[in-house]
Structure 1
């Protein structure tokens, strides 16, 4: 190992390549190894996924530094157990703890493959078992609430064909897409005459898809959704280009909006006070949740993910096959069944009984002769 001394202000460690490790294995801190690992992941994973891993390891890195564990090679199985106990004492939900320790296990598998730690150390990270009901977010935009929102937007002359109207329409009918896919849409990706959208993975221009090139697809749109998008583009879209000269479908004041910006727009677009009396007893004229910065705090507003969940549930209740829904939404049938297909008990009963109810009866005149 040699330190780079190309300029007095540089403290970057330069590691000479080695064939078999041995005495030349570098003595790195947990923080340094994390950066090596994340750089490796960036080659094949979306930046949003890498960022999630970064934050899942953040508490472990800070804990190591507080405990004086300055070298990755000094970490023992007992340290891992101590860290798990520390995080449990923080009152984490089991899903969060499972995610953090699962990422930590993957991190130490990388360390073991790199000869930085003993090969048995990853086995000593034990993520807790998550009960099936704890690993599912039940929150969604219900079908009836969606209908009321669309009625409001269609009938209110001030909001008809607004950005909020178009965003909700595309998210409900356009796949439904994830937040990142919405952000990455350009005007050229929408084909009005043919009534479909294209989703493209463009990581070099900062608009990746979650599933990379495998997530690229064309999604057909119903005529009523195209009518809203056409009018939004004609009447309310602000003509502006992003840093790469592209023309985003949804635009903010500075060009292409951030993921947080789209999330904020959706929260505001789904506040129930827009279409009915406040379910929480607030006066619409004085409600504190009717601004961009506060709408996310409304208990009944919904994020893009929750609108996506509601739209997938609605499509399944319309008896659209799970494999068709999965292809439109860029997910798998198993993921739909676990995370997105969230019918209530009565809806579930209706979905089950429609094809089979007639079989649960005796034929007329079926008595023994």
Structure 2
């Protein structure tokens, strides 16, 4: 009886709220908390919920029930991995929690969103650009596209493990030549149009090997157009229109990860003539259509995995690549327990002159 009265009282305090208005209020509330890219991701996931509500005649979130949420979950999971469904349902639950505060959803509704349990194996992404593949692409670019914008983009992604947002954010003044190569100073400049993923926490200085620095300097002196962006800054990676777009960086990665671009035979059985007519070969914007092409994140994942395999300590990789150790362990670290033990042994022996006498108190 008391529960029934409480539920009726809770519902009587609600004010009508359409799914569209709820999303608008959610975005306004969170725009100061989330980066634009994250906010766009939330909107994209929640748009599926809005479309489902429209198809099912739900125009007022006051009336949303646990049964409705289960029906939506069953509808949404079609074609999604467990990991993607988990992300979608978590975002929906967070949205509904905010709608409770807007007096638009019953207090118990967010708790009825069933979020699937995702194992570490389900959640980790296995795809990466291997060291051998990256080396082949860079050798090709060094020979045929030396010092071009595409060559420099690939060098900085593959030699520093940068996110594309970090690469795009760099200005000419952020590069400094040193006697050991060069360095990049990454800064969060939201007031003038560029962001780092973790805002000021992502700011850092990244060393560049000598061969990368030399190529970058040749690009700056010979091929970089003399342009500024809309905020009067001189972007390090620039087209004739100004600062390179992140979509262009993506195109360069998809383009050069197609095996046929570096002289390899098509792994999908196409002849040379068929490759020339392939949908993925018509323009750079079509490169993603190749099943063997890869996204920029696979280059970053390959770089981090390579560094770990080489024995670089995880805290060093974490600081250099602006990624937490827990994230590295779950998403990037492909080493077996035996390989980890071997590398730990090598690191300790490199520190202690006598490996047999190493250890506290000896």
What TM-score, normalized by structure 2, do the two folds share? 0.84
Aligned residue in 1 for 2:20: 31
Cα distance, 1:204 vs structure 2: 2.7
Is 2:149 the partner of 1:166? Answer: no
Is 2:44 the partner of 1:52? Answer: no
Aligned residue in 2 for 1:12: none
Cα distance, 1:332 vs structure 2: 0.1
Alignment check: 8 A CA contact 2:255 2:261 kept: no
Alignment check: 8 A CA contact 2:124 2:330 kept: yes
Aligned residue in 1 for 2:353: none
Over 3 Å counting, the alpha-carbon distance change for 1:295 and 1:207 in structure 2 is same
Residue deviations 1:229-267, cap 9 Å, x none? 111112222222211111111123422232212100122
Alignment check: 8 A CA contact 1:87 1:97 kept: yes
Secondary structure (helix, strand or coil) at the match of 1:197 reads: strand
| CA distance in structure 1 between the partners assigned to 2:11 and 2:264 by the alignment | 70
Over 3 Å counting, the alpha-carbon distance change for 1:126 and 1:214 in structure 2 is same
Aligned residue in 1 for 2:245: 258
Alignment of 1:282-301 (within 5 A): 282-283=270-271, 286-287=275-276, 288=278, 289-290=280-281, 291-301=283-293
Secondary structure (helix, strand or coil) at the match of 2:206 reads: strand
Greater helix share, structure number: 2
- Please point out which of 70, 89, 112 is paired with 2:100: 112
Aligned residue in 1 for 2:5: none
Cα distance, 1:315 vs structure 2: 0.8
List alignment gaps of at least 5 residues for structure 1: 1-20, 364-369
Cα distance, 1:27 vs structure 2: 2.3
Is 2:303 the partner of 1:315? Answer: no
- Please point out which of 164, 175, 178 is paired with 1:193: 178
Aligned residue in 2 for 1:241: 228
Is 2:180 the partner of 1:180? Answer: no
Alignment check: 8 A CA contact 2:53 2:59 kept: yes
Alignment check: 8 A CA contact 1:309 1:341 kept: no
Cα distance, 1:297 vs structure 2: 2.1
Aligned residue in 1 for 2:201: 214
What TM-score, normalized by structure 1, do the two folds share? 0.83
List alignment gaps of at least 5 residues for structure 2: 1-9, 350-355, 357-362
